[in-house]
Structure 1
C-alpha cells in the first residue's frame, strides 16, 4: 500500500534523479527509491529490486519494466510513464546526444540515421494538431534542457554564433576554428548552434584544443575535400568522423541545434549535443547559458536575430550584469548588414555599452572578450 504523498520524504535537488543502472542499483541498495525520478533506464532486469523496495512518490519516465514490477510500483503510489513505441527518439532521455548516437548508421547513408528520422517524424507531426505529438516534443525538449543544465554547472560558457554557409577550406572557416581552439585552451566551454559552417568550425577548434597546432592544420586540410553538407550530408559527415577517428579523444564543446532547421545536420565535433524540436527554446537557451559572452561571426538573418535576442536581456539587465558581445568583421556589421549602429544606439548610456565590441578580425575576439570581462 502506498505511503500518502504528504508522508513521503523527497530528496532535494538533482539527487532525486536517476539516469543510469548504476545509479538505480546504488539507490535501491540503500532503499531510497521513494520520491525519486528514474529517467529512461531499462529496468527489465531489476524486477526483484523494484519488488523489494518502497517506491512511493517515485516517477518512472520511459523505464521499461516487467508487468509485475510495474503493477507493484503503481501500487506503491508511483507514477509510471511507459516507453513510447515506434519513435526515432527517446522523449524521456536523461543525457545529451553524442555525435555517434545521432549519426548511427551513417555508413548506409544519412537518411537512415536517428537524426534524419527524427526530423522526418517532426515534419510529419508538427502541423497535424495532435496533442500527443506536441506533448512528446515538449517532454523531450525539457529533458534536454535539464541534461544541458547538469552538464554546464560551474562552466564558463562562450557562445560562438555565425552562418551555416561558411564553407570548409576557407580562411573564414579556419579563423572560426582557431577561435574555438583559443577559447577552449583559455578554459572556456565553447557553445554553438551545433550546425554546419561557422558553428562546426568553432566546435572543431575546441575539439582540437588538446592537440598540437599541427593537428588542426591537418584536420582542416582533410575536411576541405567535403566543403559543404550540400549536396551530400553523408559525405560531409563522414569526413568529420574521419577526423575524429584519426585524432580520438579531442576536447569537448557543446552544440545546440534544432530539428526546426532539420535540413541543416548537426556537426560531429560538438561532444555534447542538445538538439531541440522548438527553435525558440533552443535559441533562448543557447544565449542564456553563454554566461561568459558571445562572439558573433558574419552571418545572415539567423545571426542578426541572435544578436538582438542577446541584446534584449543585456539592455534590460534581466539576467544581471550584461554579458560581453563581440561582433566580428567591421564591414559586414556596418555596411552589408548594419547591425552595429543599432546595437550602439541601444547601448547608449546603459551598462551594456561597456560590454559590446566590434572588431575587424576573428583573431581579435578573445582579447575583446577578456577586456570586457574585467
Structure 2
C-alpha cells in the first residue's frame, strides 16, 4: 500500500462512495482540494527546526484561511444534512396522510420487508462507525425513526412505492457518508487547532531564534571583519615571508660564494703556511749561519782590533821617533845653517843643503837615498 494512502486512509476511503448528488459532488470535490492543499502544506519539511518554524510562520495565514473554509463547508454540510434529515420524514408523512386505504393491502408486505432490510443495513453500519459529535444528530434521527417505526410501516403499507424507498435509502447512505466526512472535518479542525497552537509556540521559538540568528549574524559580521584583518595580515606576512625567502636565497647564494672563496682562501692560507713554515726553516738556517758568521766576525773583529791596537802602538812609536828625529833635524839644521853661513860661500848653500837633507833623513830613518820617502797619515 502507498505510504501516503496508508497515512491518510480516512481521506482516500471517503472517495469510494458512489451516486453522489451534483451539489454533494461539487462540495466534496471542493473539500478534497482543500484537504489536499492542507496536507501538502503540513507535509512540507525543512532541514532544521528553525527553518520549519519559519515555514509554519509564513504559512500561518494560509492555514487560517483553510480552517475558515473547512468551517464554512462543514457548517453548510451540517445545515444541508439537517434539512435532508427532516425532509424524508416530511415526504413520507405527508403523502401517507392523504393516501387511500386500498393501497395498504397491495404494497404492505413488500414495503415492510424492504424497509426492514433497509433500516437494518443503514443503521447497523452507523453503529459500527467511530463515535463523534457529528454522529449525535444521526443517532437522534435513528431514535426518531425507530420510535415512529410502527407509524411509518402503517403509512408505507398504503402509499410508499419501492422507488421512494430506494431513493430514501440512497439519501440515508449519502447522509452516512456525509456524516463520515463531517467527522473527518472535525478531526481536521482539531488538528488545525493543534497546529495553530504549535505554530504559535513555533512562532515564539522562531522569534527567539531570529534574535539569536541576528546576534549570530552580528557576531558573524564581526568575525568576518576580524577574519578579513587576519587575512590581510596573513597576506602581508606571506609577502614578507616571500621577501625573506628571496633574501634568504640571496644570502644562501652569497654564503655559497663566500664558502667557495673561503675554501680558496683556506687553501691559499694553507699554502702560505707551508711557505711560511719553509721560510721559517730557511730563516732558522740563515739565522744559524748568521750567528756563526757573527761569531766568526766577532773573532775576526777581535783579531783585527788586536792587530789595529798593535799597529796603533807601532804608529805611535814611529810618530815619537819621527817627532824626535824632526826635532834633531831642526836642531842640526839650525846648526848647519849657522856653520854654513859662517864657512861656505852663499852660492853653494842651497844645493848643499838639499843634499845634506836627503842624506841626513835617509840615515835617520834607515832609508836608502834612492827610495822616495812617504809619510802615512795616522
Give the TM-score range, shorter chain: under 0.3
Higher strand share: 1
Question: Which fold has the larger relative contact order, with Cα–Cα distance below 8 Å and residues 6 or more apart in sequence?
Answer: 2
Taking structure 2 as the reference length, what is the TM-score of the superposition? Answer: 0.18
- The answer to which structure has the higher helix fraction is 2
TM-score normalised by structure 1 residue count:
0.18
Q: Which has the larger radius of gyration?
A: 2
